[in-house]
Structure 1
């Protein structure tokens, strides 16, 4: 049983990975969307990321090497979902490597509130690897769709001095990415509205 837990801590269930995005945080960023979420926020834009049987397993080391290879072309990484904090051991393993072995910034979206996050065993270690945390469940009644907050109840936690609120406000609300194979990806905090 311990071996299975150790193996899982070295793998993330991944929904998608985009190497270059400008609508998921300050500057050009790689985006990691994890697969799996039990929070079930009504109106969630990414319901296809909820099922833990979806996506694919990817090794933390393999994912880190993909991110490290992008250094020089990205400013940081953004982790979204799904719910990243429902895969805390693997998330922590990834973010610790990013923090220790690169100069990339880290932004994480979570549906958990700040108070809920404080109850996790891994909280201190996780927060030490994150520059910006955007926390709280999406509430479609309080839809905001700006400053990287989907709804007004979400809280922004600037955990290092690397970014300020102004940096988040400058992030485009949406983008369209056309992949080399012709796949179209629509992304951002408000991908259905165009500026």
Structure 2
């Protein structure tokens, strides 16, 4: 989960939004103002995600919003194939904001919450630290490879790659990630220690 929180492309967009928008034909001033809009969208996503994880659950929040995140990233890739199209600017801006909102709700609001919930008490401290290290380690990886990837496979290819990683994230969540909403930590730890899948064990625990 820590890896996917970055591999799905969130900080590639946040860090390089002005460059991406300039490449799409926007002026530098518009690109910078849009960057401010992205920051505001992240705030909205954080508030909405904080409500959603308790209202509908951690797993369901991811399964509802991550497909929209992947779709928005794919649309962003398609937009960069529309060279010179009058609609390109609006599609890029819309896809960018939808992606930030949905990824912020579906992944960024959950990743910091779920690790302490599913880790056994005996290793919770160091393991949570390892999860945090993974988040920032993969963030560094994305930061140093994003522009190189764009140069290697193009802007559209880069966004299609991130869209594919969103799909892999959805598959991982569907197969592996348990629902921990309203579950005591003791129940989660018993399900983790029992034979078989944590997700299935927790789903069948009354």
TM-score band by shorter chain is: under 0.3
Q: Which has the higher strand share?
A: 1
Q: TM-score, normalised by structure 2?
A: 0.23
Q: TM-score, normalised by structure 1?
A: 0.24
Q: Which has the higher contact order (CA 8 A, sep 6+)?
A: 2
